[in-house]
Structure 1
Amino acid sequence: MSVPRRPPALLAVPLLVLALLLTGCAFSTSTTPATSATAPAAAPGQGAAGPESDAASVLREAAEAEPAPSPAEIPGLGPETRAQIPDEARQAFVVTGDGEDSNRSSAMLYSREDPEEGWKSSAGPWDAHNGMKGWTDHHVAGDLKSPKGVYSLTDAGGRLPDPGALLPYDEHPRFAVDGVGFFGEPLEGSFDYVVAINYNRTEGVSPLDRTRPLGLGRGGGIWIHVDHGGPTQGCVSIPEERMERLLRTLDPELNPVIVMGDAASLSL
């Protein structure tokens, strides 16, 4: 009986296996691809050949590309109000009314010694009073309202001797006042210390000066003064010890301003 002949294809398989055993495996079991002998080495900082991985390099470059944080703004002030603050102002005394018809307020002092960092609170909050009938954006004489807005602060004075004010200070007996306020509270001592708010007045003169550039009908004599325990004719008032501190802090070289109005208006 003749032995059947094995097909040529079946003979090739054992020969292939034998060749692999003799020459070694041509395919690695590792999932990492072999590096081509002709591939250029990665530059430092650009992959495994350098000290920084590709992922770390991408994160670093993204962080460097991020814009610097914006300077801090004064809380509660909207873009329209912020736009009224002069660029050169480095101090802002912010008086925020409880409501448009309210005579109660809160006061905070802010400074920005470094424009890149922005505004920082430096004193307050302090209780304050404003006009008996609240706030207005068109103050007229006798309306018993405080004018909203941003005004410079350049001049101070009072009945008492200068407590160490940085602003020019006019000590004068004409700052004396008597009588009673809206609720029967005594007014004596209210003008012991004052800072003139530059609404309808000439800068660089005593708060007692009665020049009214907008005319007498638009009112004037709007001051920051010592609180007497009740609403004012249109001024802003804070406790006496706060007035002393304010006088010793407001610096003409920092171009101080007052930002004043009801909370809703200031947020615009």
Structure 2
Amino acid sequence: MNRRRALALLAGAAVCVGVPGTAGCEREAARASAPADPPAGGSAARPAPPRPVFRPLPGIGPATLARIPADTRQVLVVTGRGVDTNDARAVLYELTPGQGWIAAAGPWPARNGLRGWTEDHDENDLRTPIGVFPLSDAGGLLPDPGTRLPYDQDAGFTASGTGHLGEPLEGSFDYVIAIDYNRLPGNSPLDATRPMGDDKGGGVWLHVDHGGPTNACIALDKAYMLALLRVLDAARHPVVVMGPEASLRA
């Protein structure tokens, strides 16, 4: 009996080490019939799922990125080719969980101040301030198109006269979004309060393109202004990041 048991073990057979039919014998049989664990790294090993790629804001460097509030989920990036240019490009990005910054609208052509951009804006320099600014309030001559920003419809948004190229300004303020440069957020874009003083300029808006460069504002085609108003959401704390390419890469 002992010899037969030894031969069975050598042959890999299941052997009871107790009385046949008892629990001990059944446990031993179960262990003998169980499949062996697959070797590490063998064909039965499952590859780890790929890690999601977090998309950064294109063209935005660490210093500029650090100025964007932590709770911001919508960023309008307005980029000029150079410090003295007055044509630009605008793209709206939204922060998507697990994916990063995804382009939600644009690219759109845009215009900025006649003489370009500046780090130190003054009232009459005809340059657009460079930086990161919240977009808190909207308004216009025309009714609210369905924005989730506070909206002020007012006759004070009437535009008249001509622009720097002799183009008519009528309709430029049909829709506007205030850029929070030297203003008090939570008020109509028409509010004239200038916390840094009148000499630092103010009334810097996103508004309807009139076919030429601006004094300091950012101008977009009317259809793009409508699209922007309808997607911006105060609960997502939108900001505009604007300036020449080299400045925003810092």
TM-score normalised by length of structure 1:
0.76
Q: Give the equivalent residue in structure 2 for 1:149.
A: 131
| Mapped partners of 1:244, 1:50: distance in 2 | 62
Look up the equivalent residue of 1:134 and give its one-letter code: G
| Mapped partners of 1:112, 1:238: distance in 2 | 23
Show CA shifts across 1:91-147 (max 9, x none).
001100121100000000010132x32110000000000000111111111000000
Look up the equivalent residue of 1:229 and give its one-letter code: G
TM-score normalised by length of structure 2:
0.82
Q: Give the equivalent residue in structure 2 for 1:127.
A: 109
Report the 3-state secondary structure (helix = DSSP H, G, I; strand = E; otherwise coil) of the residue aligned with 1:112: strand
| Mapped partners of 1:56, 1:72: distance in 2 | 34
- Equivalences for 1:79-90 in 2 at 5 Å? 79-90=62-73
1:140 pairs with one of 119, 122, 132 = 122
**Structure 2: tracts of 5 or more residues without a match:** 1-35
Sequence identity percentage: 53
Following superposition, the deviation at residue 72 of structure 1 comes to 1.3
Following superposition, the deviation at residue 71 of structure 1 comes to 2.4
| Mapped partners of 2:207, 2:80: distance in 1 | 16
2:167 pairs with one of 182, 185, 210 = 185
Matched, 1:228 2:210: yes
Q: Give the equivalent residue in structure 2 for 1:107.
A: 90
Look up the equivalent residue of 2:75 and give its one-letter code: A
Show CA shifts across 1:123-181 (max 9, x none).
00000000001111111110000001100011000011111121111001110011111
Show CA shifts across 1:226-250 (max 9, x none).
0011100000000001111111111
Q: Give the equivalent residue in structure 1 for 2:24.
A: none
Look up the equivalent residue of 1:101 and give its one-letter code: D
Following superposition, the deviation at residue 69 of structure 1 comes to 4.8
Number of aligned residue pairs: give it: 218
Show CA shifts across 1:201-251 (max 9, x none).
000000000000111111000000000111000000000011111111110
**Structure 1: tracts of 5 or more residues without a match:** 1-48
Matched, 1:97 2:92: no
| Mapped partners of 1:234, 1:147: distance in 2 | 7
- Equivalences for 1:253-268 in 2 at 5 Å? 253-268=235-250
Q: How large is the Cα RMSD of the aligned pairs? A: 2.1
